[in-house]
Homo-oligomer: A and B are copies of this chain.
């Protein structure tokens, strides 16, 4: 992956967290987590034009920030405040198919007010990671004229902040959510109908993440299904959706255009990065990747769904 000056700038807003995770592979404490941690790292493999806005407490290991900086990410917008870092405690079922939240300590994240640097307000691509939609709206008021704004969300905000969430969705281009969240937001079980209802809320595209069933993109050009790689080893699904989003937006920044063809390829790059993320704990699956490894997984996905066009 050569670096091109044409790369668009990608601004990432999200959480940087410490996670305690219990599950079939044991209990792991103080893992690096948070949406922005996965997004920025996944995107960094496609472009060096990534900057973050996030908040950490005084307990957060500086090495995690330094690592992102070494990957070429602009971390000046990661603000260290007095207090504890956002901390999530969760437990996965033995089959890793479901998880429950055992505890959430907001810490410094409870008073997070994203403040963009002057260099960030001109970002061309903006990814609003899964945080309170009121904060996502705050960010939207600060950016000048982005060509693409995408946002992730979750069931919590659909349940307790629907008005803010709908206001946010009306202002962005792409909303990403998982299948259950899409059903909850649209109050419609059928995914195709749910996507149609969400499109009526204002965005130009809806991406529905379905874990190991892949992801669906609904937009004016129809529907695209990005496959998920069937993996032999899955250790920790945490951050899969964020890594997907980071790969997708990172590739769009790299490609420098937003054509339907490029967006399809970007969905596949998202699937590639999500597949790496779940093979290890925390962001470990996103460490030490190379263009060769990413290309290889991409080619595996090409092969996975390849079939001939036939005429009956």
Task: List the interface of chain A (C-beta within 8 A of B).
Answer: 1, 94-97, 189-193, 196, 210, 212-214, 216, 222-227, 230-234, 261, 264-265, 267-268, 291, 294-295, 298-299, 302-312
How far apart sit A295 and B311, CA to CA, in the bound complex (Å)?
A: 7
Closest Cβ of chain B to A217, distance in Å, is 10
CB-based contact B212/A214 at 8 Å: no
Considering the complex, give the chain B residue whose CB is closest to the CB of A291: B312
Given the interface contacts A189-B97, A310-B265, A310-B298, does A303 sit within 8 Å of B222 by beta carbon? yes
CB-based contact A309/B305 at 8 Å: no
Contacts of A95 in B (CB 8 A): 189
Contacts of A210 in B (CB 8 A): 213
Q: Show 28 A/B contacts (Cβ-Cβ < 8 Å), sorted by A.
A: A1-B312, A94-B189, A96-B189, A190-B232, A190-B233, A191-B212, A192-B230, A192-B232, A210-B213, A213-B214, A216-B230, A222-B303, A223-B304, A224-B306, A224-B307, A225-B227, A225-B305, A227-B305, A261-B308, A265-B308, A265-B310, A267-B307, A291-B312, A294-B312, A298-B310, A302-B307, A302-B309, A305-B305
CB-based contact A225/B304 at 8 Å: yes
How far apart sit A99 and B222, CA to CA, in the bound complex (Å)?
A: 31
CB-based contact A193/B232 at 8 Å: yes
A191-B230, A196-B232 given. 8 additional CB < 8 A pairs?
Answer: A96-B189, A190-B234, A213-B214, A224-B307, A225-B227, A226-B307, A227-B227, A295-B312
Contacts of A97 in B (CB 8 A): 189
CB-based contact B216/A213 at 8 Å: no
Copies per complex? 2
CB-based contact A223/B230 at 8 Å: yes
Contacts of A231 in B (CB 8 A): 190, 192
Contacts of A189 in B (CB 8 A): 94-97
Contacts of A299 in B (CB 8 A): 309
How far apart sit A94 and B190, CA to CA, in the bound complex (Å)?
A: 11
Closest Cβ of chain B to A285, distance in Å, is 16
CB-based contact B268/A307 at 8 Å: yes
How far apart sit A97 and B180, CA to CA, in the bound complex (Å)?
A: 12
- 6 closest residue pairs by CB, A with B: A213-B213, A95-B189, A264-B307, A1-B312, A192-B230, A305-B305
How far apart sit A215 and B275, CA to CA, in the bound complex (Å)?
A: 19
The residue among A210, A225, A311 with the most chain B CB atoms within 10 A of its own CB is A225
How far apart sit A1 and B311, CA to CA, in the bound complex (Å)?
A: 8
Given the interface contacts A212-B191, A312-B295, does A307 sit within 8 Å of B265 by beta carbon? yes
CB-based contact B230/A225 at 8 Å: yes
How far apart sit A298 and B267, CA to CA, in the bound complex (Å)?
A: 22
Contacts of A268 in B (CB 8 A): 307
How far apart sit A234 and B22, CA to CA, in the bound complex (Å)?
A: 38
Given the interface contacts A189-B97, A193-B232, does A224 sit within 8 Å of B310 by beta carbon? no
